[in-house]
Amino acid sequence: MKTEIIKEFVKAVNDNDWGNVEEYLHESYTFRLIRHDMTLDKDEWMALAQLMMEDTEHNIDIIKIIDLGRYSFAHNRINFIENGQVIGRLEECNLIEWAKNKFLSLETYAEVMVKSEITQEWLKSFDMYSDKNN
């Protein structure tokens, strides 16, 4: 059942259905980005998620969900898309704590992956050279 709730939640985010997204979040919901030791409350997370997803082609793909009783583990990928092309990806490992079939908390470890062509262009923009004789 929790796996289905996570899938419905991700679909609502992808559809920019923010009223429905909020229904999946407990009133005491907190979001924690572990790598940066940042914690957001429900309203802050909603504002950030809307800013990131609204009026874009970005989407979330679920890779794996494991139900652990009071917790669920979800591995997903956020695809950043511009003009129909994937320009970057964000891999997330999420630990969701449940209360009454709603997300009570979500702790995430995220890692950004940018297309190698974009990285190469960025590095070339520095116009650096290597002198092998130094």
User: Alpha-carbon distance 84 to 88, whole Å?
Assistant: 12
Query: pTM score, two decimals?
Result: 0.79
State the pLDDT at residue 35. 79
Assigned token pair, 109: 């470890």
Sign of the torsion angle spanned by Cα atoms 51, 104, 73, 110: positive
Enumerate domains of the chain plus CATH numbers. 2-124 (3.10.450.50)
Cα separations (Å) of 44 from 13, 65, 103? 15, 25, 15
Q: For residue 121, is pLDDT > 70? A: no
For residue range 10-31, list pLDDT tens digits in order. Answer: 999 999 999 999 999 999 999 9
User: Alpha-carbon distance 18 to 9, whole Å?
Assistant: 10
For residue range 60-113, list pLDDT tens digits in order. Answer: 999 999 999 999 999 999 998 888 888 888 888 999 999 999 999 999 987 765
Q: For residue 3, is pLDDT > 60? A: yes
Beta strand 102-114 with 25-33: parallel, antiparallel or unpaired? Answer: parallel
